[in-house]
Amino acid sequence: MAAQRADGWWYPWIFVVGMTIVVVVNGFLIYFATSTYSGLETENHYEEGIAYNQTLEMVRQQEAMGWTAEINFTPSGESAEGVNGTLLVKLLDRDGSPVPGLKVKAYFIRPTKEGFDREADMLPFSGGSYATPVSLPLKGQWDAHVVALGGEVPFQQVERFVAK
């Protein structure tokens, strides 16, 4: 007659199966943590952190100028590469008058995925307005970072828009 197994012989297997599940789940978490978006928005975050007080001073100077910007993206259609459109920026001074004669540059930054950023020089359009055609490689959210040079201090503004 065959020997009978003792009660509870399978208890150690509960521990083995449980630990295997923990190791497999941790492996998935490690894989997704290292292969997805890093969360870093700037390349030189350490240097920018050191210069933070200078950045705050530039913001105060920009606010003292009293300039504002109206930033609008108007899609004009789709292409094989993505979405085509026009970025229009209207710069106004403290009194609401247009600000002509500036050198304006636009940076198009994809906040959800790296490697698709674009930049464009904006051309004077009419009375303090500046425009540039742009071809964005993907539909979805974009940040238009507009920088205007030619005033007392550089003027910067960021506007988020959805390219459809």
The residue type at 121: D
Task: Give the pLDDT band of residue 119 (cuts 50, 70, 90).
Answer: very high
Question: Could you tell me if residue 28 is inside a domain?
Answer: no
Question: pLDDT value at position 152?
Answer: 77
Residue 39's H or E segment, with its range, is: none
**What's residue 90's pLDDT?**
94
**Residue 41 falls within a domain, yes or no?**
no
Residue 23 lies inside a defined structural domain of this protein? no
Number of Cβ atoms within 10 Å of the Cβ of 9: 8
CATH number, domain of 105, equals: 2.60.40.10
- Asked if residue 160 lies in contact with residue 146, where contact means CB atoms within 8 angstroms, the answer is no
Would 146 be classed as within a structural domain?
yes
Give the pLDDT confidence score for residue 113 in this predicted structure. 80
Out of 12-16, 37-41, 75-79, 143-147, which region has the weakest mean confidence (pLDDT)? Answer: 37-41
Does residue 15 form part of some domain?
no
Instruction: Give residue 85's domain range.
Output: 66-163
Residue 5 lies in a domain: no
Question: pLDDT at position 8, please?
Answer: 86
- Note the pLDDT of residue 24: 98
5-59 pLDDT per residue, tens: 888 888 999 999 999 999 999 999 999 988 877 666 677 888 888 999 998 998 8
Classify residue 19 by burial, with Cβ atoms within 10 Å: 0-12, 13-18, 19+. exposed
- pLDDT the model gives residue 40: 60
Residue 129 located in a structural domain: yes
Average pLDDT for 146-163: 89
Q: How many domains does the chain have?
A: 1
